[in-house]
Amino acid sequence: MKTMSVGLLGQSTALHSMVCQSILVLVCLVCYGCGGLSGAEFVFDDTVAIVKNRDVNALPTNWTAIFTHDFWGASLLSSDSHKSFRPLTTLMFHCEYALLGLTAAHMKFLNLLLHCVNTLLMWRLVRSLYVVEINGERWAIISAALFAAHPIHTEAVSGIVGRAELMFGMIHLLCLLLTVANTGKHSPHSICLILTLTAVGMLFKESAVTIPMSCVLMDYFQNGFYHLSLKDQGRILRTRISYIVYILGTSALLTARLWWQNFESPKFKEVDNPIAHNDHILTRVLSQQYLLVMNLWLMLCPHWLCYDWALGCVKLVTSIWDLRLQGVIGFYSILLTALMNFRRLPGMMLGLGLMIIPFLPASGIIRVGFVIAERTLYVPSIGFCLLSIYGFLYWYDYNIHKPFWRTVMQTLLMLLFAVMMVRTRQRATDWLNEDQLFKSALEVCPDNAKVHYNIARLATDTGNNTKAFQHYHYAIELYPEYEAALMNLGNLYREHGQLQTAEKYIRMALQVFPAFPAAWMNLGIVQSAQRKYDQARTSYEKALKYRSNFAVCYYNIGNLYLEQKLYAEALHHWQHAVTLNPRQPKAWANILTMLDNRSLYDDALRISDQALRHLPNEMSILFIRANVLGKLKHYVEAETLYKRVIQLDPHNMLYYSNLGVLYHRWDKVQEAIEAYRTAISINGARATTARENLSKLLKRLEREAQVTER
């Protein structure tokens, strides 16, 4: 009977565990999945870190680049680098690209799966903790459910670049589980494994360097050292071998990480983090303390969420009499109260510690390129969820003889989860595309110049120039020294033929930031359009002075020489552009067009082969190659390429017109007539060649018919 009861108990426990885990996964899927990934696009930082990053989307794998470049694709030793070295995250993206292609939906789905895994790991971790003040099982399931549904995680889960945080979170939780499993044991193997995992975690996200500190806190909590006198606690902290090894190991890993970037600090612009660039120490200190409270508030009340908090979202705290500092005083009061009661409420101290320690790299102790980044709260929120649910359950158990209040607390908790899940679902929808994301940011931070800048940039890409002009001007009005907005507004005026206005705004950008290579290049383009060729050449040279491997600049220098009919120089600079960056379709197209015009058909075919290795679906290259093949009377291969580009862009009049010319030469009369008529139907006003050739062909058929009748 005893054996049977033990077996039934084991089955019941296993069933309970399965139900708990199923509920947690279901919460994650309801918040982020269930059709929520349909129509997903690459948004905001995803574009730079993935879509435009050759380390991610170039084959074969460039291992050297992955392990010597930063997360955004720049050389780690470059002065432009943000020093965010995350090669394993980049490698994950690259493997996904190689296996599944570059689609946002499957990448976001993998993020969701990782979030599910982290939720289950958190449940398992809390379940294994030793607590006597509250029910451990309840603490585990409710805190993990809060972690699964918390809206602050949306940026990390729905933004693909949040993969770094998700992997950091997973390794962080695994190390904590390993620490709990070895409580009371002297296990050198577990210490070495934790330090190894920390090293791996740092290759996903730099903040993983804090993992050993979290493990020290967990070991301290699990062994009950907090019950000892302060003197004995201090002695343990100083003499415990594992703690000393963790400190030395962390120092070694941090030194190695800094050595890899040549001990250079990143250089961020004021537009990225105005607080760090402020000249007044008091303003920096007070504002940074206020930011700590802001981050805590976002976890407490995640209603106002924004993808970028840089300019205009958080005003600087310039005086000790600023009323916002009341929140700072309140935060430190709570922290002091927790420290005074750490023996009575150890779970509260554990939650606080696990919230603070992973946040240290983003807390302002080192200069970072953001004001608030919601995705950096993914791992600290583990501690927040533990802390908040610990407090809830403590009061719930305290009111054990007051059923009414317990019912009220249960109802409020259920309401909280419902609101959290709805908000997370709503926020995940915002992250599906940039249009929704930027609109949502405008509601939160209407005075954020970067939000208006990004709305204008997106409007330019979609052809809504009126909207682009409006938001670029508004961004500059909010932040007159916004060099990127000034330059882009100048480019927009250039596209509308207002060259003098364009030059004015680009020069304003250069006054703000004289070492701005893209602005010098764009100034050269404007000057070239004004036929100020010598000035344009000088501007291009200055652009190359500040960025020597500026492939697009070499392409534009080639265009400058083309306008001056210096064909050899033009060809040389285009070739240099594709050498620096083989994914320059316009440079390849110009090279091929020049070779085609010079009747150097064999060279054109050879170079188009090279271009297609890097850009296999680039329509301009395929189209020029088809033209050359047609001139060489390789009709079958040319026809295949024409049909391929038509499949890629079925509404391009020129493709059908040239296909008609091919059939015309090939003496496929009916196919030629059909192709010409299709070209005319697409754009009759511009299809003059197709109309003339069709007329000639029809007259020829008419003459042939008359001859046949005779």
State the virtual CA torsion across 211, 213, 218, 224 in degrees, nearest 10.
170
Please determine, for residue 660, whether its predicted confidence score (pLDDT) is greater than 80: yes
Which of 6-20, 90-104, 272-286, 693-707 is predicted most confidently?
A: 90-104
pLDDT number for residue 2: 52
Instruction: Choose the weakest-confidence range: 306-315, 439-448, 514-523, 589-598.
Output: 306-315
Characterize 523-561 residue by residue with b for buried, 16 or more Cβ atoms within 10 angstroms of its Cβ, and e for exposed: bbbbbbeeebeebbbebbebbbebbeebbbbbbbbbbbb
Instruction: Choose the weakest-confidence range: 339-348, 529-538, 636-645.
Output: 339-348
Burial class (CB in 10 A: 0-12, 13-18, 19+), 306: buried
pLDDT number for residue 7: 57
The predicted model scores a pTM of 0.88
* Structure-block tokens of residue 132: 């006597």
pLDDT number for residue 518: 95
pLDDT number for residue 9: 53
Contact between 500 and 477 under an 8 Å Cβ cutoff? The reply is no
Please determine, for residue 4, whether its predicted confidence score (pLDDT) is greater than 60: no
pLDDT tens digit string along 131-166? 888 888 999 999 999 999 999 999 999 999 999 999
pLDDT number for residue 279: 80
The sign of the dihedral angle between the CA atoms of 423, 428, 433, 434 is positive
> Confidence class of residue 308 from pLDDT cuts 50, 70 and 90?
confident
Instruction: Choose the weakest-confidence range: 24-38, 169-183, 586-600, 614-628.
Output: 24-38
pLDDT number for residue 124: 95
Q: What is the number of residues in the chain?
A: 710
pLDDT tens digit string along 275-299? 777 788 888 889 888 989 999 999 9
Phi, psi for 675 (deg, rounded to 5): -65, -45
pLDDT number for residue 437: 93
Phi-psi region of 35 (alpha: psi -120 to 50; beta: other; left: phi over 0): left
| 568 vs 570: CA distance, rounded Å | 5
| 163 vs 147: CA distance, rounded Å | 17
Q: What is the pLDDT of the chain when averaged over all its residues?
A: 89
State the virtual CA torsion across 570, 571, 572, 577 in degrees, nearest 10.
90
pLDDT tens digit string along 221-232? 888 888 788 788
Integer distance in angstroms from the first to the last C-alpha of the chain?
112
Residues forming a β-bridge with 477: none
Q: What percentage of the chain exceeds 90 in pLDDT?
A: 60
| 461 vs 450: CA distance, rounded Å | 17
Characterize 187-226 residue by residue with b for buried, 16 or more Cβ atoms within 10 angstroms of its Cβ, and e for exposed: beebbeebbebbbebbbbbbbbbbbbbbbbbbbbbbeeee
| 648 vs 666: CA distance, rounded Å | 24
Phi-psi region of 131 (alpha: psi -120 to 50; beta: other; left: phi over 0): beta
pLDDT number for residue 34: 62
pLDDT number for residue 627: 93
> Confidence class of residue 5 from pLDDT cuts 50, 70 and 90?
low
pLDDT number for residue 6: 53
Closest CA to 456 of 422, 430, 493: 493
Amino acid at 403: P
> Confidence class of residue 510 from pLDDT cuts 50, 70 and 90?
very high
Span 308-329, mean pLDDT?
A: 86
Closest CA to 392 of 345, 355, 356: 345
